[in-house]
Structure 1
């Protein structure tokens, strides 16, 4: 078996796929940075330009989603989760085809180039899953569900340079279990994607680094407030997304394209107004603001709330784009505000605790939250406080929004695909010639 040419072909195809996910993640990250620089360059030339550029960009993006790249909307994580629950390759292709992955990249870059408050990490999950699904067919690898899981984990690992978080994300969010037959696939994919990322950009901390830890009793108050408060607002964000998505589906039922474009235009205009009012702070991923806060620079007290609303509108608009980086920026701003209100000098500590509480509240995946922040900031001395903040955030969020965000959105894609398959069966049955009675 080990020396079988067919087995070696499968291994080589899988290894190439994992390395490809890592390389594409790096290129995507560089392109995302360029798109944001392009937008801010235009904004610096004319402060009012987002008031035109952002709503127009949102409308164009949603039109392309509807007409050219159906299935590319939103984060991309729900599509990858849904694909694991579908039964056939053809069903999965409607969510993870390579043209959809290409559209995901292009339209996420378009969103960043017009000021949307979105991230690239969720889209990287869908892209990684799509690459692995395509190579599964090319390499004649039967276990498609395992490869989708591996591609998703590799995407998170390469996007954040957090290999351990990639594995935890696969366990906690994508599969809710670690199947023995897929653990090797996930670990190998994460390792190879990580090697590709390291080879192209080197080792780095995504949000800078901090050595701030809990050193006195007053710091535990920061843990409690950031965990509970972050979780509450994360739950509000998550619940509003789910309620808003259901409302949007009802509203666009009779005129899907026209009303989708109208919603996108309104959301884009609102995002532009907030961005102009905050002097551009809420546009884009929020990476720069979060990085500066992690390194000890206080953020404006209202930044987190403005960023939360801007991210909410960007998500509800229906454009492709993730919520990971904006959520971490919101959490950083919330932690900074808490430190200011409580009169604490431990800004960096409050920031990472706020990131853990809010992020865990949004995605309701506490292990992923504290591991990803631990790896991103390089602070190994803060494990227990981060774990507590993440668990407090998760527990509080569950009280506010009982339904997990990604899982709930995934079921929408599953139900839509099942309805499409049922309609296809009815159409084929109606088109079939009637049976001629024998005799």
Structure 2
């Protein structure tokens, strides 16, 4: 009888363990489905917010001079007082959450409250013309949803945050390969075999949800742009260097403001963050007025128009969009960098195309996108994979790779550290005063 009892106990224990395992997997799958749904919701809200802002400006473009400062000030007040830790892109918060061991401080960065606030205040920013994207916020929202779904497996939280962030990128752009590369190159800076299956499964679940709700699509649409091998390849180097310089400058500025400016200016900003945000909003409105409204919002329409040559874009688009994105980023409002960076890069590529009359402009626009994104993020593989996947331009892969590597090397001369990891180091230091920012690996 004792042997039978032991056998029954072992079988029962195995069954419970198996049931718990499948329950956890089911929760992970549900989390991936939720990330896909959240990505679609944020895309719809972003499009609706920008359409509403354009409708207001149709009455008078000068309304932006009042609406943008008020909207920026309100968004920063909400982000600081109602939804703390929702400021900025959201990607540094996810990176920091994977480094912080204290569960309370980690939860504060990726809670469902923060995710909800991220969606609300990001939408508010686009309603007032901020030059921000939804993709970075989707990463933080995705990480928060996966963390909530995996409460029964706290030991796997780091992998869940990685999977949720990767699925956020994949679902936001409909680029599953880019989601995997982003997880390896940027979020974790290493290949983690233990979590690879979880990352891929979550991306599949999020992608299936997006497919079911909005169908299959290419983010910028397919393009037949080609760059024949020859003298025109000099443009690849020019785009790479200029994109790296501009991207490195952008990162250096944002990191400087994130760490706090020295002197009276920094002290004033620290004491009056809402007033500073209003001034940033006023600056964004000025950029928008100078470009006929092209500097507002994500920049998706302008980048697509430059890529396909469908509509004219203001000649000063690239520098104005750069300035508007800098002001939006340092203001403290929640918002991502991917879409605005791609728009700045598209404008940069269009400017280079003026120097090469016989070169297909669409090809140089693509190269400009990759170069500026790689220079800003210091993630060259992510840059060329995401652009090639969102435009289905596999024939351009080699020049895109070259431009990304040149831009990354050039940006390193301006800004030694990766943008997201430098900002994450500040979050880690603030969350744990006894933890030095040196504890967070920096990209050399």
Q: TM-score, normalised by structure 2?
A: 0.91
CA gap of 1:333–1:253, structure 2 versus 1, over 3 A, is: closer
The residue number in structure 1 matching 2:67 is: 53
CA drift at 1:141: 4.7
Aligned 8 A contact 1:117 1:310 in 2: yes
Match of 2:221 among 170, 188, 208: 208
Match of 1:270 among 253, 258, 283: 283
| Aligned mates of 1:255, 1:287 — CA distance in 2 | 34
CA drift at 1:247: 3.2
The residue number in structure 1 matching 2:440 is: none
2:129 alignment partner, SS class: coil
CA drift at 1:254: 6.5
CA gap of 1:421–1:332, structure 2 versus 1, over 3 A, is: closer
| Aligned mates of 1:187, 1:143 — CA distance in 2 | 15
Residues 1:223 and 2:236 aligned together? yes
Residues 1:165 and 2:178 aligned together? yes
CA drift at 1:242: 1.0
Match of 1:320 among 330, 334, 342: 334
Aligned 8 A contact 1:252 1:259 in 2: no
| Aligned mates of 1:345, 1:303 — CA distance in 2 | 21
Match of 2:426 among 396, 406, 412: 412
| Aligned mates of 1:110, 1:318 — CA distance in 2 | 13
Unmatched 5+ stretches in structure 2: 1-13, 437-444
Aligned 8 A contact 2:244 2:406 in 1: yes
Residues 1:184 and 2:197 aligned together? yes
Aligned 8 A contact 2:306 2:347 in 1: yes
Residues 1:369 and 2:409 aligned together? no
Q: When the two structures are aligned, how many residues end up with a matched partner? A: 421
The residue number in structure 1 matching 2:46 is: 32
Aligned 8 A contact 1:370 1:386 in 2: yes
Match of 2:160 among 147, 157, 167: 147
2:61 alignment partner, SS class: coil
Unmatched 5+ stretches in structure 1: 423-439
CA gap of 1:408–1:421, structure 2 versus 1, over 3 A, is: closer
Q: TM-score, normalised by structure 1?
A: 0.92
Match of 1:393 among 407, 414, 419: 407
Residues 1:117 and 2:125 aligned together? no
CA drift at 1:77: 0.3
| Aligned mates of 1:107, 1:29 — CA distance in 2 | 14
| Aligned mates of 1:301, 1:409 — CA distance in 2 | 33
Residues 1:236 and 2:263 aligned together? no
The residue number in structure 2 matching 1:431 is: none
CA gap of 1:256–1:214, structure 2 versus 1, over 3 A, is: closer
2:86 alignment partner, SS class: coil
| Aligned mates of 1:110, 1:36 — CA distance in 2 | 10
The residue number in structure 2 matching 1:427 is: none
| Aligned mates of 1:106, 1:412 — CA distance in 2 | 25
| Aligned mates of 2:243, 2:66 — CA distance in 1 | 33
The residue number in structure 1 matching 2:8 is: none
1:50 alignment partner, SS class: helix
Residues 1:295 and 2:312 aligned together? no
Residues 1:130 and 2:144 aligned together? yes
Aligned 8 A contact 1:81 1:174 in 2: yes
Aligned 8 A contact 2:344 2:369 in 1: yes
The residue number in structure 1 matching 2:4 is: none
Aligned 8 A contact 2:292 2:314 in 1: no
CA drift at 1:248: 4.7
